[in-house]
A and B are shown apart, each in its own frame.
Chain A
Amino acid sequence: DIVLTQSPALAVSLGQRATISCRASQSVSISRYNLMHWYQQKPGQQPKLLIYRASNLASGIPARFSGSGSGTDFTLTINPVQADDIATYYCQQSRESYTFGAGTKLELK
């Protein structure tokens, strides 16, 4: 299985930039496709798709969210962080089957 590693938590101040990383145990890219996706989950809710194929903003997601990366290293950036962004963020790969990272909890500093 492809293992995705995320930092457990990140503390940020409102209005600042948050950078959340995800590292894969092997490449999740095929040709020009980076098969890494990002979700936001708030307590008691289902995950919501934010970014697909590493850098594409999902429908209805604010432009302060962005994604980058290729191969094994990927980043989700939120800039500027707003109060509504306090949540847990998961990366997910679909290069081989489907696996998720353990999640990064975004907290207020």
Chain B
Amino acid sequence: QVQLQQSGAELVKPGSSVKISCKASGYTFTSYDMHWIKQQPGNGLEWIGWIYPGNGNTKYNQKFNGKATLTADKSSSTAYMQLSSLTSEDSAVYFCARKGLRSYYFDYWGQGVMVTVSS
């Protein structure tokens, strides 16, 4: 069965960077876009961007240009998101989510990673 297993919670200092992971299993990793979505405490969901692991193509929400960098490792079926120059506004839960083939919705989600930015 399809599973997206994300890395553990992170406590990081302002101004630093963090890299979180999303390990996929149960499907052909290189055939599906992987998206990343942000959820701040008590808030809704905000789309960050996607990566197509098959060729590394990416697309970002303009708001996250320069903040988020998406990569993927085909050998380990793992997608990564690096967040840089962290501020308190980056404290949130970050989800990876698979977009279905030839579809426009997210059919499987990771369990989420809580990132807390605090000195």
Contact = CB atoms under 8 A, between A and B. Distances in A.
Interface of A: 35, 37, 39, 45-49, 52-53, 58, 90, 92, 94, 97-103
Contact of A99 (B47, B100, B105, B111): B47
B52 interface: no
B105 A94 contact: yes
Contacts of B104: 35, 37, 52-53, 94
Contact of B47 (A37, A48, A100, A103): A100
Contact of B103 (A39, A46, A52): A52
B106 A97 contact: no
B46 interface: yes
A100 B109 contact: no
B34 to A, nearest CB: 13
B99 to A, nearest CB: 9
